Each structure stands twice: as structure tokens, then as C-alpha cells.
Amino acid sequence: MADSPTDSSVPTPPPPGPPSEEQVLADPRLRPLLEAYQPLHHDLFLKTYARELRDLHQNGPTYESNLEYLLHQHDKAAYQYMWMIQHQKLFDLECQWRAEQVEVPGAQLTANFEDWHEYIEECPVLPPISPDELDLFDAFLAQLTDSGDLETGNPSRTYWLHRRYPDLYHNSDDDEDEEEMFTPWTEFWDVYRGTGYLRQLPDVRGTKEERYLDAVHDENHRQRPAAPAVEAVPDPRPHVPTWGDDYDDLVRELLRRFEVPALLRQFETKRQLEAYDASDDRTDLPLALERLQNAGPVLVPIEAHADWRQAVIAASHRHYLSQLRAALPRVYEDYCQREALGIRQAPPRETRWRQRERDTHFQRVAELIRKGRRLLHEPDDLNF
């Protein structure tokens, strides 16, 4: 049967182009609407109206998409940060599982938790985000003053590295070392949920895995050809500096001895120029200005500060955090609708790991664990 003229496969003709200035001036429908105004500027108005029509025909869809972006510009970030609730719940569960206090379906190795953090929206062992949990996250945003304290992804990775390599990470002269193990969100969560004790539980599972991984490491070391023994003669000289004040002093000495005087002068000029850009606001200020420029008609108060740049940055942080809080109910409502309808949640972020073929942490670590068990004359499985 032949397609009828009204068949949907027939392409829709493009909309007509804008009328010319002459057509607008001659349009009989427009003049009567201007009779309420003095006639002096009727033609000027109609010419301006013709330009307006041309602009809307050319850029109208762009205006709509740009406004849509600005009205919802913080939704994507709010959605990403909202998933920190699930990351934190998984961190809590992993602490209990590593201590062998609970069984977690599908968890055989600590690497399972790394994979679940990587694909947090697919994690099968967590309940959905509850309204109470969202309220707690909103309270966390409300007390922040620096949006740089917001992080995405696995909040526990640094913590487990500290636990496994305490000598590498611990610096007895630096009290901040202990604090760096936890993100501000984890610290806030632990205070209000009373879960700080979970970070003190023993890492039983991690210790068991480490035994097998160490066996593989030792075997690889034994198979590596031994380097020829060379009797090292102690050299009392320091290493040549490659940065910092000592480097600058050595460069000055070389320039003074072997180069024309102009180069030493220009080197000093270069260092003076770098001093202008050495402050933290070199990157923070442009971002702050961009955020404030996109604030639209919203009035953003700026508090007094001795440094105007810091005042602008602080105002930007407050505005950005307030907009994230305003976007949270919208993104949470969409999240709940997807949960209710059984629709797969969108990934909160794309990483290089996710974009590659799915070679999981579990597959990589399981192979090493089984090799370690064979080296220790234990069964070639993961039942330990």
C-alpha cells in the first residue's frame, strides 16, 4: 500500500524564515496595534521588531537550551554528590565485613567493595537512599563554608591505605596525617550517626589477603635476577637541588658566573612575577567569578574582607553550596521515581576506569590471591 500524503514518514517542511524588514513595515496587522502611541517612532519600532524576529529565528532554540541549563546547572553536581550517601553506607558495611562481624552477599574479597564503589549506582547490597539520609546530607552541605570539601567516589580508599601501610603514611611530626584519612563527609556522618567506632574495628579480612599478596610479592622477588653486588662508597655531598630556594641560589650563581648580566636580572624578574600568582586564589578566583556570573538575577551577598579576592571566593562558595541544596530535592525526586519504576539509575560520574572494558578489581586481585594460596600450599580457591 502506497504511503499517503499524511504518512509520518513524510519529512516535515522547515518553518518559514523570518519576514524581511520591508514585509514587517507593510504588514497590515501591526499598524493598528501602534495607534495607541505617537506616530514618530512607529517605523523605528517595526524595524527593531524585524531584527528581533530574525534573531529569534536564528537563536531562539539556543536561548531556550541556555536558560534550561542555567536553571538546572547545579542538578548534575547535586546528583553526583548525593551518591556520597551510598558510598558512606558501603564504607560502613565494609568495615563490619572486614572485621568478620557480618556476611555480605557476593563479597569474597575486599576488591568486591572497590568494584561496588566504582559502580555505586549498581551496588546490590545497599538499600536505597532514605529521606532521613538525604536530610543529613543537606545538613552537611548547610554547615560547609568551602565547596572544596566536597568529594565524590570512594571515601575509604585512603583510609585502608593508611591501615595497610602505617609506616608509609604516618608522620609523627604531623598531626594532620590522622585527619587526612577521612573526608569531611565521613567525619560528619560518624558524628551524627554514631558510626565512628566502625573505623576502629580490626581488619581481619584485609590481613588475611595481605598474607597471600605478600607471598606472591616474595616469589616475584626471588625470581628476579639478582643485581651484581657493588660496594657503595658513601658520598658526603648533598643532592643537587631541583626546586626551592636552594635551586634558585644555584641558578643565580651559575648565571652570575657564566651568563650576561641581563639574564640574572630577568631571572629575578621572573621570580617576582611568579610571586603575584603564588596565592591559592590563582585558580579559585576564576572559578568563583564564573559561578557568580551564572547566578542570574539572584543577589549574592559579599561579606567584608581585607582581601577582595577572598571575599569573592567565599561568596561563591556560599552561593554554590546553597544552589546544591536547592537542587537536592529535584534530583532526589527523580532518583525515587527511577527506584519505584525499576529504571536503572544514571551513573553519578564517568571515569576512565568505567570507560574501559570492564576488567574488575575483583578479577585482578582474585588471581593474585589464588596464586598466593598455591604458593603457601593451600587450596586454589577463595575460601579462607
| Cα–Cα distance measured from residue 125 to residue 119, given in angstroms and rounded to the nearest whole number | 12
| Cα–Cα distance measured from residue 164 to residue 324, given in angstroms and rounded to the nearest whole number | 35
DSSP 353-378: HHHS----HHHHHHHHHHHHHHHTT-
- pLDDT in the model for residue 172: 46
Give yes or no for a contact between 288 and 310, defined as CB atoms under 8 angstroms apart. no
The pLDDT tens digits for 168-204 are 655 545 555 555 789 999 999 999 999 999 999 999 9
> Would residue 345 count as lying in a domain?
yes
| Cα–Cα distance measured from residue 18 to residue 37, given in angstroms and rounded to the nearest whole number | 25
- Are 98 and 60 found together in one domain? no
- Are 27 and 132 found together in one domain? no
Chain length of the chain: 384
- Are 214 and 104 found together in one domain? yes
Q: 137: how many CB neighbours lie within 10 A of its CB?
A: 25
In degrees to the nearest 10, what's the CA dihedral of 323, 326, 330, 331?
50
Cell (9 digits) for 302: 559579599
- Chain centroid offset of residue 266 CA: 39
- Are 347 and 370 found together in one domain? yes
In degrees to the nearest 10, what's the CA dihedral of 294, 295, 296, 298?
180
Number of domains the chain contains: 3
| Cα–Cα distance measured from residue 154 to residue 183, given in angstroms and rounded to the nearest whole number | 10
Q: Say whether 21 sits in a helix, a strand or coil.
A: helix
- Are 86 and 207 found together in one domain? yes
Q: String of b and e for 259-285 (b: at least 16 CB within 10 Å)?
A: eeeeebeeeeeeeeeeeeeeeeeeebb
- Are 208 and 333 found together in one domain? yes
- Are 361 and 300 found together in one domain? no
Q: 51: how many CB neighbours lie within 10 A of its CB?
A: 12
Domain boundary among 71, 101, 133: 71
Q: For residue 161, which of 170, 174, 152, 150 has the smallest C-alpha distance?
A: 170
- Are 152 and 257 found together in one domain? no
Residues of the chain with confidence (pLDDT) below 50: 1-6, 172
- Are 216 and 84 found together in one domain? yes
- Are 304 and 364 found together in one domain? no
- Are 105 and 174 found together in one domain? yes
> Would residue 162 count as lying in a domain?
yes
- Are 296 and 148 found together in one domain? no
| Whole-prediction pTM | 0.76
Q: For residue 119, which of 160, 162, 87 has the smallest C-alpha distance?
A: 87
Cell (9 digits) for 73: 546547572
> Would residue 105 count as lying in a domain?
yes
| Cα–Cα distance measured from residue 375 to residue 126, given in angstroms and rounded to the nearest whole number | 36
DSSP 150: -
Alpha helix positions (H), 146-194: 157-164, 166-169, 176-179, 184-193
> 282 lies in which domain range?
244-309
